[in-house]
A and B are shown apart, each in its own frame.
Chain A
Amino acid sequence: MSTAIAESRKTVSGTKPATPSRNGGTYLFLTVMAVLWLVPFVWTLYTSLRPKSVTDAHGYWSFGGGITFSNFEVAWKSGFEKYLLNSAMITIPAVFFAILLASFVAFAVSRFSWRFNITVLVLFTAGNLLPPQILATPIYQMYKHLVLPLSFADSGSLLDTYYGVIIINVAFQVGFCTFVLSNYMKALPSDLGEAALMDGASVWRQYWAIIMPLCRPALAALATLEVIWVYNDFFWALLLMQTGSRLPITTAINNLKGEFVSNYNLIAAGAMITVIPTLVIYLVLQRQFVAGLTLGSTKG
């Protein structure tokens, strides 16, 4: 009796009774692809750890010869320390403000009925989907023609300042964050706010003390995702920064090839240094990152 149930359950829970050959093919395919997927990464890591003298003598397609961290040291001293710091100076405020501003809009449009709710959401969502190059020329000229006191920006304008890069990143990311947060807030029970209103709580209190704490999971996921996206942004700093030492790391690697010419060990080490912050997030917060990605897509 019990075996019969177990038997029938097996058939039901698997979409099809697994035949070894079918699954064998799946495993073979996935394993081959997984190995292929790892090759570029492993090769970069391997190259970065090899002494230049060894690869010079035996070529890159060779094995043994010991490992070294000196490539990392040289790359680090050539400016990567500064570039990483620049990335932090841009990424942290940009993500903070993008999510803060998005939570304002999301709260207002998802918890109350306004005539222009949808218009607002459409404007924000669409803005996030535009290719940034469409705005590049006007943004560059607007930044250039905005006269700022030299005490504020040594360029006398928004060009070549961290503020400039931060602001445009905020503007670009706030659309996606608004979309995600408004969906999340809409799913919260509506009587939460009503009850608070009855108790005489102000709108701000509703936002800060009731809705925001409930959004913590979404905020964490979104913050993880946005940190990676802003950290990985290449274009805005390329367009708006002029002083090389102010570049964030993702844009600075554009100069790697020129700087280290054909020293592939150094280029690989530089690439690995760039990967480290992402890798830490990948290992520690992968679940949050994936949750952030899928939050934006779960709307029916």
Chain B
Amino acid sequence: MSASRSGAPVKDRRPTRRGTASKPAHKVKRFSTTDKVVLTLMVVGPLALEAVLIWFPTILSVGLSFTRWNGLGDLSTIESAGWANYDYVFTDYPPFWPAVVHNVIWLVFLGAIATPLGILFAVLLDKKIRFSRIYQSIFFLPVMLSLALIGIIWQLIYSGDNGLINSALGINGTHHAINFFGDKSINLWAALIAQTWRHAGYVMILYLAGLKGIDPTLKEAAALDGASFWQTFRQVVFPAMKPINTIVIVITIIEALRAFDLVYIINGGTNGLELLSALVVQNLLGEGQDLGVGSAIAVVLLIVSLVPIVFYLVKTFRKDAES
């Protein structure tokens, strides 16, 4: 809808002579017909792709959540279901509330441990320290790996039969062996440690880039005033890092909501590793296909996701919108 409207350039605004020196606005002057067509296509093409493959399916998800459909028959077999799917998900669907709890734990763990660890790495490595580059490269290595691969690599560490930890303790293959990924009372934590291995490096890199951008004289002034390292960080560095802090917060929340690959590789997102994203997929590809129920869970995930997304968009684009 907005695609067609935004496809047309703003009506020829001639440069006014009001001395608007403060805003060097690059107003569009005159376009030839070809130029108009080219510009319109440049925006409308990608926008159509985005609309058809991202926003239309998002709306369809909401629609499907009010229907009953196993997805096998054609579209005429879709039945209206009212709020029944939501009713079922909230009150009767056994893995739903565990999944919500696990997503919350995922978020809290990343927010309380993985993200602060990455910030700590960045702050320490930003000090004039020897071998800083080598440390950075090491912490950064897992960021290059897919979470699916991280699941495989940590399986080699965690396995009860042949894993590093159990083998080193000499209890592998015995009944004392700890089955980190198989034991439903600990596998969430084991997965979170594997996720931290990647997440901390990610946060470190973002934070380091921000720290490098801070005017060093600020820190020097604080040091001259006798501020300690941590005082300087709390009172000078951290406030100056506002944009990066926003990004890190948003990334932490989004990663917690998006978590999927790791638990899917471990056991398909079952037995202690239920997550909302995994439940959607189980209802889509699993045996008891129920697209209505899957979509209802997807909508819950959507609504929760919109909180950090809107927060981020407001922070990022508010200034642009005002100018």
Residues on A lying within 8 angstroms of B by beta carbon are 11-16, 22-23, 26-27, 29-30, 33-34, 37-41, 43-44, 47, 55, 59-61, 101-102, 104-105, 107-109, 111-127, 129-142, 145, 167-168, 170-172, 174-175, 178, 190, 193-194, 197, 202-204, 207, 228, 231-235, 238-239, 250-251, 253-254, 256-257, 262, 264, 267-268, 270-271, 274-275, 278-279, 281-282, 286, 289-290, 293-294, 296-300
* Interface of chain B: mostly helix, strand, loop or mixed: helix
Q: Is the CB of B124 within 8 A of A131?
A: no
Once bound together, how far apart are the Cα atoms of A274 and B321, in whole Å?
44
Q: Is B127 an interface residue (CB 8 A)?
A: yes
List 9 A-B pairs, minimum CB-CB distance, nearest first.
A116-B6, A232-B146, A61-B167, A138-B57, A138-B60, A294-B209, A171-B53, A104-B42, A190-B26
Q: Is A61 a contact of B219 with CB atoms below 8 Å? A: no
CA distance A147 to B9 in the complex (A): 36
CB distance from B278 to the nearest CB of A (A): 8
Question: Which listed residue (A34, A290, A299) contacts B139, Cβ 8 A?
Answer: A34
Nearest Cβ on chain B to A298's Cβ, whole angstroms: 7
Task: Supply 21 A–B pairs (Cβ within 8 Å), ascending by A.
Answer: A11-B223, A14-B128, A37-B197, A40-B156, A102-B46, A111-B26, A116-B5, A120-B47, A123-B55, A127-B50, A130-B58, A131-B277, A137-B60, A137-B295, A138-B58, A168-B53, A232-B147, A235-B260, A254-B265, A256-B152, A297-B243
Q: A108-B43, A278-B144 are in contact. List 15 more A-B contacts (CB 8 A).
A: A15-B220, A22-B229, A34-B135, A39-B164, A59-B167, A120-B43, A123-B51, A127-B54, A137-B284, A190-B24, A197-B29, A232-B147, A235-B260, A275-B145, A300-B319
Docked Cα-Cα span, A29 to B123, in Å, equals 13
Known: A130-B54, A232-B145. A29 touches B124 (CB 8 A): yes
Contacting residue for A113 out of B13, B134, B232, CB 8 A: B13
Cα–Cα, bound, A112→B279 (Å): 44
Interface residues of B (CB under 8 A from A): 2, 5-6, 9-10, 13, 24-32, 34-35, 38-39, 42-43, 45-47, 49-58, 60-61, 64, 71, 75, 121, 124-125, 127-129, 134-135, 137-142, 144-149, 152-157, 159, 161-164, 167-168, 170, 172, 197, 201-202, 205-206, 209-210, 213, 216, 219-220, 222-224, 228-229, 232, 242-244, 247, 250, 254, 257-258, 260-261, 264-265, 276-277, 280-281, 283-285, 291, 294-295, 298-299, 301-302, 305, 308-309, 312-313, 316-317, 319-321
Known contacts A129-B309, A129-B312, A290-B209; is A61 also within 8 Å of B170 by CB?
yes
> In chain A, what residue has the closest Cβ to B139?
A37
A137-B64, A228-B144, A299-B316 known; A113-B154 Cβ under 8 A: no
- Contact between chains at B258 and A131 (CB < 8 Å): yes
Chain A residues with CB under 8 A of B229: 15-16, 22
In the complex formed, the residue of A with least CB distance to B53 is A171
- B46 pairs with A107, CB closer than 8 A: no
